Amino acid sequence: MKRWIVTIVLLISLVCGRVQTVQGAYITQQEGRSGEAVGESAKDGDETADFLKLYAQSAVLMDGSSGRILYGKGRDIIRPMASTTKIMTCILALEMGNLEDSVTVSSTAASQPKVHLGVRSGEKYRLGDLLYALMLESYNDAAVMIAENIGGSVEGFAALMNEKAKSLGCENTYFITPNGLDGVKKDKDGTEHIHSTTASDLAAIMRYCVTQSPKKDEFLKITQTQNYSFSDSSGKRSYSCYNHNAFLNMMQGVLSGKTGFTGGAGYSYVGAMENGGRTYIIALLGCGWPPHKTYKWTDARKLYTYGLDHYNIRDVFCEKEIPDIPVTGGLCWEEEGNCQEFTGASLHLSEEEKKLPMLLKEDEQVQVTARIPSILEAPVREGQKIGTIDYSLNGTLVKQFPVYADRGVKQMTFSGVVRHVLEIFIDFGRSYHII
Known binding positions for substrate:
258
Closest CA to 308 of 283, 257, 284, 274: 274
Q: Is there a catalytic annotation at residue 111?
A: no
Q: Is there a catalytic annotation at residue 86?
A: yes
Q: Taking the CA atoms of the chain, what radius of gyration do you get in angstroms?
A: 31
Q: Which of 83, 196, 256, 268 is catalytic?
A: 83
Q: Is there a catalytic annotation at residue 83?
A: yes
As annotated, the binding site includes: 258
Q: Which of 86, 164, 215, 410 is catalytic?
A: 86
Q: Which of 138, 196, 200, 268 is catalytic?
A: 138
Query: Which are the catalytic amino acids?
Result: 83, 86, 138
